[in-house]
């Protein structure tokens, strides 16, 4: 029986790499006493695969793991038991059975959506006597006409409009075979901005994946705002199959 697990990765474990997360879930299955199916051979291992590795430093509300388990186990109980052993860094959101003959999550994956908090990129002001961020202070102190953006918001919104006017957006991509220029414009499905947050939907998967950092670099190159990766927070919101169907609703029962 193949199951699909949707889980969240919290801020406290955002620096765990993909192999660490894989080993973590292997231990969680054992501790939760889930009866797993194992591969054959001299070194049998649990049959499990992730939809797409999550970059180090990125948190998520929608990660997916496919696993093969022995028949006859209650999926709601598995969800509860896994949450009982996962600790604070991870949360299992749901566990669903995958239809017979359905694609694996990694094969079905086509799109990913992200939320990016860019408020810390606002130039620092005198915040010593304030609990508010520089972004909040800027929003309050500028004199604005009703419905207008402050300067930070306006700059990013203008850059997004300029980006969508481009027919091609070339970036350098380094692979094992060398460095080449890639046009990422067809990979951008949606890109919007609202009150200090950039929202994006991009293509995903092994053959056509666009990293959020690559798009952000191209976006901020069109602004007078210095792009400092260490000051932003990227959250992967969801992973989708064809038709923009979330993976836990695609060929699942």
Q: What is the pLDDT of residues 133-149, one digit of tens each?
A: 555 655 555 544 444 44
Q: Is 22 left (phi over 0), alpha (psi -120 to 50) or beta?
A: alpha
pLDDT band at 129 (very low <50, low <70, confident <90, very high): very low
Residues 6+ apart with CB under 8 A from 219: 156, 159, 160, 163, 191, 198
Examine the fold and report which residue of 85, 108, 131 is the final residue of a domain before the chain moves on.
108
Examine the fold and report which residue of 108, 141, 169 is the final residue of a domain before the chain moves on.
108
Which domain, by its residues, includes 156? 111-245
Which sign, positive or negative, has the C-alpha torsion 32, 13, 204, 175? negative
Instruction: Say whether pLDDT at 72 is over 70.
Output: yes
Q: Determine, yes or no, domain membership for 194.
A: yes
Whether residues 226 and 120 share a domain: the answer is yes
In the predicted model, what is the mean pLDDT of residues 17-35? 96
Whether residues 138 and 188 share a domain: the answer is yes
Q: Determine, yes or no, domain membership for 145.
A: yes
The domain that contains 38 carries what CATH number? 3.30.70.580
Whether residues 143 and 202 share a domain: the answer is yes
In the predicted model, what is the mean pLDDT of residues 19-39? 96
Tokens standing for residue 195 = 């009150």
| Helix or strand (DSSP H, E) at 111 | strand 111-117
User: If you search the block for the tokens 């054992």, which residue do you land on?
Assistant: 30
pLDDT of residue 209: 93
Q: Return the minimum-mean-pLDDT range out of 43-52, 77-86, 173-182, 235-244.
A: 173-182
Domain count across the chain = 2
Whether residues 125 and 36 share a domain: the answer is no
pTM: 0.89
In the predicted model, what is the mean pLDDT of residues 41-67? 95
Whether residues 226 and 157 share a domain: the answer is yes
Distance of CA 219 to the CA centre of its chain: 18
Count of alpha carbons within 13 Å of 219, Cβ hemisphere only? 26
d(CA 206, CA 150): 39
Measured CA to CA in angstroms, residue 215 lies from 153, 172, 209, 243 at distances of 18, 12, 11, 22
Whether residues 145 and 179 share a domain: the answer is yes
* Maximal CA-CA distance, the chain: 71
Q: Determine, yes or no, domain membership for 252.
A: no
In the predicted model, what is the mean pLDDT of residues 42-70? 95
> Do 209 and 171 form a contact (C-beta atoms < 8 A)?
no
Whether residues 22 and 96 share a domain: the answer is yes
Q: Which long-range contacts (CB under 8 A, 24 or more apart) does 23-32 make?
A: 24/90, 25/65, 28/82, 28/85, 28/86, 29/67, 29/82, 31/85, 32/78, 32/81, 32/82, 32/84, 32/85
Whether residues 94 and 154 share a domain: the answer is no
d(CA 231, CA 233): 7
The SS3 call for residue 201 is: strand
DSSP 120-177: GGSPP---TT-SS-HHHHHHHHS---TT---HHHHHHHHHHHHHHH-S--EEEEEETT
d(CA 133, CA 242): 39
Mean pLDDT over each residue of the chain, to the nearest integer: 90
Whether residues 152 and 227 share a domain: the answer is yes
Tens digits of residue pLDDT in 190-220: 999 998 899 999 999 988 899 999 999 999 9
Whether residues 125 and 96 share a domain: the answer is no
Count of alpha carbons within 13 Å of 246, Cβ hemisphere only? 16
pLDDT of residue 127: 40
Q: Determine, yes or no, domain membership for 253.
A: no
Whether residues 90 and 118 share a domain: the answer is no
In the predicted model, what is the mean pLDDT of residues 146-160? 76
> Do 114 and 200 form a contact (C-beta atoms < 8 A)?
yes
Whether residues 44 and 124 share a domain: the answer is no
Task: Give the rounded percent of residues in the chain with a pLDDT score beyond 90.
Answer: 76
């Amino acid at each position: 029986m193949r199951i699909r697990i949707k889980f969240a990765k919290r801020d406290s474990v955002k620096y765990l790499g993909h192999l660490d997360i894989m080993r973590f879930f292997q231990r969680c299955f054992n501790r939760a006493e889930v009866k797993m199916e194992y591969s054959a051979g001299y070194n049998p291992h649990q049959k499990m695969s992730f939809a797409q590795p999550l970059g180090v430093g990125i948190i998520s509300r929608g990660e997916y793991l496919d696993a093969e388990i022995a028949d006859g186990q209650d999926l709601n109980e598995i969800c509860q038991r896994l949450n009982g052993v996962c600790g604070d860094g991870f949360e299992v959101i749901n566990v669903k059975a995958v239809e017979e003959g359905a694609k694996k999550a990694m094969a079905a994956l086509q799109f990913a959506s992200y939320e990016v908090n860019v408020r810390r990129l606002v130039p620092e002001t005198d915040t010593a006597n304030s609990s508010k961020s520089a972004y909040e202070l800027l929003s309050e102190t500028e004199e604005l006409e009703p419905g207008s953006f402050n300067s930070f918001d306006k700059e990013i919104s203008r850059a997004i409009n300029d980006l969508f006017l481009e027919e091609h957006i070339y970036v350098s991509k380094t692979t094992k075979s060398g460095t080449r220029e890639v046009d990422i414009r067809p990979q951008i499905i949606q890109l919007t901005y609202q009150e200090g947050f950039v929202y994006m939907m991009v293509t995903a998967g092994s053959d056509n994946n666009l990293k959020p950092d690559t798009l952000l670099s191209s976006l901020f190159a069109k602004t007078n705002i210095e792009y400092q990766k260490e000051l932003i927070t990227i959250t992967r919101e969801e992973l989708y199959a064809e038709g923009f169907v979330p993976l836990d609703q695609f060929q699942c029962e």
